[in-house]
Structure 1
Amino acid sequence: MAESPRNSDWNPRAYARFQDLRLRPAMDLLNAVDQIGPGDVIDLGCGAGQMGAALSKRAMGRDVIGVDASPAMLEKAHASKGYASLQQADIRDWHPRRAPGLIYSNAALHWLGDHRRLMPGLAGMLRKGGTLAVQLPHQNNAPSHRVWLTLADDLFPGRIDTHGGPGILTPVEYDTLLAPKGRFRMWETEYYQRLSAEADSHPVRRYTEATYARPVLNLLEPDERAVLIARYEEVMNTAYPARPDGSVLFPFRRLFFTLTV
């Protein structure tokens, strides 16, 4: 579930704070897979291995192979159940040792650019009858994500590439790319997530800072990060008002598709 941007590793503890919320779309994606072809099951961007056991159960004896760029995440994945092996690799450069029956990728591929090349390339790696199953956060235009970039551009103009972060194509573009290659299905789900109260911080800030905002925050000095976070929290208090108990109901949209070749 975690493909690390180049030259930056993930913090498994920070990512795992919202593990239950992140696991639901991962399970929804797996449950939508109606066919696994002959060959290995690849967990592409496997992160800390949260889906290893579920994929192994569904694999029906096929080898489940986890692939991730993050050494810290893979160290955690080694302790999880279900993987026949784990591979450290950048998805940009990865290629399977043999044609898989399922390439499953949950909340990882949005960190990579050039989806017009990437997605057909992954589909082309599958065996006949195999499936590509992908889930992508589709939240970039929501205040929770957009405000990190607009504030960073206002506060530190020219310092941060506010156009090079996680991004995806439009649904029409994915359909154009992939529908001619096999049985293609695509849908969106908006998850209403209740984020618990956080001491001295807005819950949405805690949720996004370990993932979407990480590349931005990593480029700033500690005092600069503090300024950006303070301004971000001011906006979040208006965009996502806290309830009397400090919790927030946070809508989060995700795009799913499966392609069986």
Structure 2
Amino acid sequence: MTRSAAWDPAGYLRFADERARPFTDLLARVGAREPLVVVDLGCGEGALTASLAARWPGARVTGVDSSPDMLAAAAAHAVPGRVEFVAGDVRDWQPGAPVDVLVTNAVLHWVPGHAELLRRWAGRLAPGGWLALQVPGNGRAPTHALLADLCRSPRWAGLLADAAPAADAVLDPAGYLEVLTGEGLAVDAWETTYLHVLSGDDPVLGWVRSTVLRPVLARLDADDAAELTAEYAAALREAYPPRVDGTTLLPFRRVFAVGQAGASR
């Protein structure tokens, strides 16, 4: 029986500092001064969404997510009249009013063809409004390539071939720049490779359990999930060997783009 691909807030927060840094770097390039409507699409467990209200005290901040588990965790960060969290799929989301700052952080790699979403969202910005996105750009890294190879191997292809992570799930910075400039936004796009220093047993496996491995394991029963995880863990240990001090280095590429609509939009 296939299990639900539920998100695990606790597992995701195991690496909270490492996952927060790209969000901070992204928002550092957003120059909004006194926005009134701020939306975080794919808000997760809500801590980073709440930080937007701290930055812009006059804004009404809304976090949108499709995961009941993440929204349950996010409820702890809600502030009546200031910060709210609502259930919704980013593919269907429509704002009730023009948006001053729209943020989507580590979400769009789950959405095939998301360039069209970005075009739609750009059209819902207020005059002078900002759109800020960050996506993991490591689809060709061993974390993903090894898992894709496993999914397509003779042992697993019948169950997992169509669940293999795609190497081209996101655009490069120039691709996002072209999409957003095509909608009339002034765009800053870039990429950064973070070098995370992880500790503990099989730390890279621990990292991917709450991300790219999650939907794969959801296809399997408990015995098959344990077998695949053991095979994947062995491959990850070879690709990311521990250092002399016991830590493990995980290079992690991320792609960013920030666009501002014209004042006359």
Aligned to 1:139: 138
* Contact 2:34 2:59 (C-alpha < 8 Å) held by counterparts: no
The residue correspondences of 1:18-29 to structure 2 (distance < 5 A) are 18-29=15-26
Which of 47-56 and 204-213 deviates more?
47-56
Residue by residue over 1:175-234, the C-alpha shift from the partner in whole angstroms, topping out at 9 and shown as x without a partner, is 222123221010001001011112xxx111110111111111110121211221122122
How many Å separate the matches in 2 of 1:246 and 1:136?
A: 29
Shift of 1:162: 4.0
How many Å separate the matches in 1 of 2:126 and 2:259?
A: 12
How many Å separate the matches in 2 of 1:185 and 1:39?
A: 23
Residue among 55, 59, 63 paired with 2:60: 63
Shift of 1:158: 3.1
Q: Which amino acid aligns with 1:178?
A: L
Shift of 1:95: 0.7
Which of 160-169 and 77-86 deviates more?
160-169
For residue 47 of structure 2, give the secondary structure of its aligned residue in structure 1: coil
How many Å separate the matches in 1 of 2:120 and 2:33?
A: 18
* Contact 2:43 2:64 (C-alpha < 8 Å) held by counterparts: yes
For residue 212 of structure 1, give the secondary structure of its aligned residue in structure 2: coil
How many Å separate the matches in 2 of 1:53 and 1:90?
A: 20
Which of 220-229 and 135-144 deviates more?
220-229
The residue correspondences of 1:244-255 to structure 2 (distance < 5 A) are 244-255=244-255
* Contact 1:145 1:208 (C-alpha < 8 Å) held by counterparts: no
Residue among 62, 71, 75 paired with 1:74: 71
Q: Which amino acid aligns with 2:101?
A: L
Residue by residue over 1:111-136, the C-alpha shift from the partner in whole angstroms, topping out at 9 and shown as x without a partner, is 11112311111111111100000000
1:43 aligns with 2:69: no
Residue among 51, 56, 64 paired with 1:54: 51
Q: Which amino acid aligns with 1:127?
A: A
* Contact 1:137 1:254 (C-alpha < 8 Å) held by counterparts: yes
1:191 aligns with 2:191: no
1:176 aligns with 2:175: no
Gapped regions of structure 1 (runs ≥ 5):
1-6
* Contact 1:41 1:63 (C-alpha < 8 Å) held by counterparts: yes
For residue 22 of structure 1, give the secondary structure of its aligned residue in structure 2: helix
Shift of 1:245: 4.1
* Contact 2:7 2:70 (C-alpha < 8 Å) held by counterparts: yes
* Contact 1:39 1:99 (C-alpha < 8 Å) held by counterparts: no
Aligned alpha-carbon RMSD (Å): 1.8
Which of 247-256 and 161-170 deviates more?
161-170
How many Å separate the matches in 2 of 1:22 and 1:134?
A: 14
How many Å separate the matches in 2 of 1:227 and 1:61?
A: 51
* Contact 1:101 1:130 (C-alpha < 8 Å) held by counterparts: yes
How many Å separate the matches in 2 of 1:183 and 1:222?
A: 49
* Contact 1:39 1:127 (C-alpha < 8 Å) held by counterparts: no
Structure 1 residue runs of 4 or more that deviate by more than 6 Å after TM superposition? none
* Contact 1:36 1:129 (C-alpha < 8 Å) held by counterparts: no
How many Å separate the matches in 2 of 1:120 and 1:37?
A: 24
Aligned to 1:242: 242
Give the % identical residues.
38
Aligned to 1:120: 119
Q: Which amino acid aligns with 1:63?
A: R
How many Å separate the matches in 2 of 1:10 and 1:162?
A: 17
* Contact 1:37 1:129 (C-alpha < 8 Å) held by counterparts: no
How many Å separate the matches in 2 of 1:123 and 1:36?
A: 19
Aligned to 2:157: 157
How many Å separate the matches in 2 of 1:203 and 1:151?
A: 19
**Structure 1 residues 43 and 116: CA distance shift in structure 2, 3 A:** closer
**Structure 1 residues 147 and 233: CA distance shift in structure 2, 3 A:** same
Gapped regions of structure 2 (runs ≥ 5):
none
Q: Which amino acid aligns with 1:108?
A: V
For residue 129 of structure 1, give the secondary structure of its aligned residue in structure 2: strand
How many Å separate the matches in 1 of 2:85 and 2:56?
A: 16
Shift of 1:77: 0.8
